[in-house]
Amino acid sequence: KSQGNWWCAAALAASVFLGWQLGCRRPVFVPSVKLSGSTRLPLALIVLTGTALIWKAWMQSHYSSDEVFSAIALAELPAFQTISYYPLPNNHLLFNLINGAFAVATEDLVFTGRLLSAAACLSVLLLTYFFFEKLSGRRWSSLLFTLVIAVQFPVWGWSAQARGYEMMLLFGVISLLASWRQLSQRNSGTSLLFSVTVALGVFTQPAFLFWWAGLFTGGLLLCIGNKKALLNWLTANATAGAISLLLYLPLLTFSGLEALVSNPYVQPSAEGTTAFLSQLQAQNYLSGLFKEWLPLPGSGWLAPLLLALSLFLLFRSGKRQGELACLVLGVFTTTLVMVIILRKAPFYRV
């Protein structure tokens, strides 16, 4: 009860902060897409390719125990219980909350959950295309880049899972683009979009904090020498934190903070940092991670090399592209530092 009172007091303070922010908020940026005859063919190819990959994933995967557990033990619960009951990290809160709404129409929430993941996958591909087409002005190069992204297993493979991983990926892409627009174009109208998508990503799964921390670090680097941009960036992240706190209030007051930070899946290794890193190396963690993205012989070394080359080319392409590369680099370096400090490596799928 005492903890619940403190959390409610913190939530009240967060509500006051959000009310103040909304009261002095500039017009919110709403992304717009102009469709023309020249874009229909690339979009059709992306949708067809994405649909084919999703179908392939569905045909190759039977219902898994985690999917069934999430659907029956969590998504089928009353909405408030779904977001306040946290027995395991299997409860991807926002995903199960949305999926549970389909219970009025069907009993097969694994199927509807897979539909949600498939929709998120297609959304990621379309967003990727529109962004790079606008950034580069090259329609067919953007199409080729999007198709390369589409065939990566972490993008299409989880479209056949009634879990929140594809939803996390979608929120990750939106928050990256929103943060880049805010920092690159000094457009404060996108700050609310960034704050909301980050909070929704964290509400889907706490592991989204790795991504958020990386964007925050990259953003700080871009704000060096610009006090106004720094203030806007700190405010946007504080807003994301306030929204996240309000979303997690049912869980924090009923299941408690320990359910989030004390379960064995997130507890730091009992070994020292040196022993932990040696164990990661013995398990070929990085090699396995990069093989998820590039399943070729030697990809444990080839994939990070290609990543470094891509970032280098972005830095050389222009100021705006370099700022995007800085954000991406911030995500990777911050994640690496957090893994070392916490002595806990996230699962590949995260």
Residue 30 belongs to a domain: no
Total residues belonging to the chain: 350
> Which residue, of 213, 232, 262, is where some domain finishes?
262
Residue with the bigger pLDDT between 2 and 161: it is: 161
pLDDT in tens, 190-247: 888 999 999 999 999 999 999 999 999 999 998 988 888 899 999 999 999 999 998 9
Domain count, the chain: 2
Answer yes or no: is pLDDT of 329 > 70: yes
pLDDT digits (tens, 9 = 90+) for 117-136: 999 999 999 999 998 888 87
16 assigned to some structural domain: yes
3-12, 41-50, 253-262, 285-294: range with lowest mean pLDDT: 285-294
Residue that wins the pLDDT comparison between 285 and 67 = 67
Most confident of 86-90, 139-143, 287-291: 139-143
Task: Encode 15-50 in three state secondary structure.
Answer: HHHHHHHHHCCCCCCCCCCCCCHHHHHHHHHHHHHH
Q: Give yes or no: residues 250 and 317 share one domain.
A: no
The mean of the pLDDT values for the chain is: 83
Same structural domain, 243 and 218 = yes
pLDDT band at 331 (very low <50, low <70, confident <90, very high): confident
In a domain, 206, yes or no: yes
Do residue 252 and residue 329 come from a single domain? no
Q: Which helix (H) or strand (E) holds 60?
A: helix 37-60
Domain assignment present for residue 165? The answer is yes
Same domain, 97 and 225: yes
DSSP string of 172-221, one letter each residue: HHHHHHHHHHHHHS--GGGHHHHHHHHHHHHHH-TTHHHHHHHHHHHHHH
Give the Cα separation of 250 and 298 in Å (integer).
Answer: 46
The span from the CA of 131 to the CA of 314, in Å, is: 14
Q: How confident is the model at residue 29 (pLDDT cuts 50, 70, 90)?
A: low
Q: Which domain holds residue 168?
A: 2-22+38-262
Percent of the chain scored above 90 by pLDDT?
42
Q: Is residue 27 part of a domain?
A: no
Q: Say yes or no to pLDDT of 262 above 50.
A: yes
Q: Are residues 258 and 282 in the same domain?
A: no
pLDDT of 32 reads 57
Are both 250 and 331 inside the same structural domain?
A: no
Tell me, what's the pLDDT at 22? 66
Q: Do 277 and 296 belong together in one domain?
A: yes
Quick check: is 243 in a domain?
yes
**180 and 322 assigned to the same domain:** no
Q: Look at residue 200 and tell me if it is in a domain.
A: yes
Q: Is 154 or 231 the better-scoring residue by pLDDT?
A: 231
Cα 260-212-319 angle, rounded to 5 deg: 175
Tell me the average pLDDT across 48-65: 92
Lowest mean pLDDT among 11-15, 203-207, 278-282: 278-282
* Rounded-to-integer distance, Cα 339 and Cα 174, Å: 24
Higher pLDDT, 4 or 203: 203
| Domain end call among 218, 234, 262 | 262
Q: Looking at the domain assignment, is residue 28 inside a domain?
A: no
Asked if residue 257 and residue 278 are part of one domain, the reply reads no
More confident position, 269 or 324:
324
**Mean local confidence (pLDDT), 147-153:** 87
Residues 199 and 161 grouped into a single domain: yes
What's the pLDDT score for residue 310? 66
Most confident residue range from 70-79, 254-263, 278-287, 289-298: 70-79
Task: State the pLDDT at residue 258.
Answer: 86
Per-residue pLDDT at 281: 63
Q: What mean pLDDT do residues 86-113 have?
A: 92
Residue 96 Rama label (left phi>0; alpha psi -120 to 50; beta): alpha
Whether 9 and 68 map to the same domain: the answer is: yes
Residue 140 is encoded by which pair of tokens? 């067919």
pTM attached to this predicted model? 0.87
Same domain, 185 and 112: yes
| pLDDT at 123 (0 to 100) | 96
> What's the pLDDT score for residue 311?
67
- Which residue, 262, 277, 311, sits at the end of a domain? 262
Confidence of residue 298 (pLDDT cuts 50, 70, 90): very low
